[in-house]
């Protein structure tokens, strides 16, 4: 079994995580409960050995600027991985900035991958880049009514590799433009994500719970599946893994 290496002992390892959370908007509803998500996600990542850089209430352009600066951070050279966490309102193509009206000021999902691909973030080349996105991806409810003997309970929440080639006699190493990403979205395309004004989003609650319970013995994508399975009895929402290009298993090894 191939797994991603941990390059440094804990005392010399400089793991960094980026967390961007938009709560207050000029035109859209305030995301009540988001502060709980920030607190719980920060606590989880710090417990896993990451120095969490947190930014709140940014426009799409400001989010792009923050990502570019984070991608250039020298600590990635002595890190073995990173987490990129985004929480906001959203739509099918991206994440809403604070000036969005639902169609303007949108950070494209593609921009995340472009800023951290192997061309623009060489320090994280060959290292796991974990993307967590909590936002609605449309207005549809993620369930369908099926005649059954028991009606499911409905939630009371609000929505929210290498190869070498010979070129003219000289050996050149060629790499994938984009690799080593693993992404978990809070919902399937075109559907809403649910959030409690007091307890935070259902997705972040369950992700934190599964990581705390299983990070010591499960690889990342197995934990993603555990998060997805935790929604089996919550038919309005189902997290989804997309744009995942990990070539090995990634174990977080908490405590090491």
Contacts 24+ apart (CB under 8 A), 167-174: none
pTM over 0.75: yes
Work out the angle between the directed axes of helices 202-214 and 34-47 (0-180°, nearest 10): 20
Residue of 21, 121, 135, 136 with catalytic role: 136
Is-catalytic flag, 89? yes
User: Tens place of pLDDT for every residue, the chain, 256 residues?
Assistant: 699 998 778 888 899 999 999 999 999 999 999 999 999 999 999 999 999 999 999 999 999 999 999 999 999 999 999 999 999 999 999 999 999 999 999 999 999 999 999 999 999 999 999 999 999 988 887 655 544 443 444 444 555 633 334 444 445 678 899 999 999 999 999 999 999 999 999 999 999 999 999 999 999 999 999 999 999 999 999 999 999 999 999 999 886 6
Residue of 76, 89, 96, 135 with catalytic role: 89
Do 15 and 78 touch, CB atoms closer than 8 A? Answer: no
Do 178 and 113 touch, CB atoms closer than 8 A? Answer: yes
Domains present along the chain, CATH in parentheses: 16-140+176-242 (3.40.50.1460)
- Cα(224)–Cα(221) distance, integer angstroms: 5
For residue 130, what are the CA distances in angstroms to 17, 164, 205, 239?
Answer: 9, 27, 17, 15
């Amino acid at each position: 079994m191939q797994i991603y290496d941990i390059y440094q002992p804990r005392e010399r390892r400089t793991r960094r995580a980026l967390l961007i959370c938009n709560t207050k908007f000029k035109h859209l509803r305030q995301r009540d409960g988001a502060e709980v998500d920030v607190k719980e996600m920060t606590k989880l990542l710090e417990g896993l050995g990451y120095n969490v850089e947190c930014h709140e209430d940014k426009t799409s352009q400001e989010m792009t600027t923050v990502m570019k600066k984070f991608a250039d951070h020298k600590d990635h050279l002595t890190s073995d991985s990173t987490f990129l966490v985004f929480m906001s309102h959203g739509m099918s193509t991206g994440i809403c900035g604070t000036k969005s009206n639902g169609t303007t000021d949108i950070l494209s999902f593609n921009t995340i991958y472009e800023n951290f691909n192997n061309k623009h973030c060489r320090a994280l080349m060959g290292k796991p880049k974990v993307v967590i996105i909590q936002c609605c991806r449309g207005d549809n409810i993620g369930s369908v009514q099926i005649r059954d003997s028991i009606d499911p309970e409905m939630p009371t929440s609000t929505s929210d590799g290498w190869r070498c080639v010979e070129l003219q006699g000289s050996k050149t190493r060629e790499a994938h433009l984009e690799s080593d990403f693993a992404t978990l979205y809070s919902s399937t395309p075109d559907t809403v994500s649910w959030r409690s004004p007091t307890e935070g989003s259902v997705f972040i609650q369950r992700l934190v719970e599964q990581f705390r319970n299983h990070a010591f013995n499960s690889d990342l994508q197995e934990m993603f599946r555990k998060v997805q399975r935790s929604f089996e009895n919550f038919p309005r929402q189902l997290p989804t893994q997309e744009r995942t290009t990990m070539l090995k298993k990634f174990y977080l090894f908490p405590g090491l």
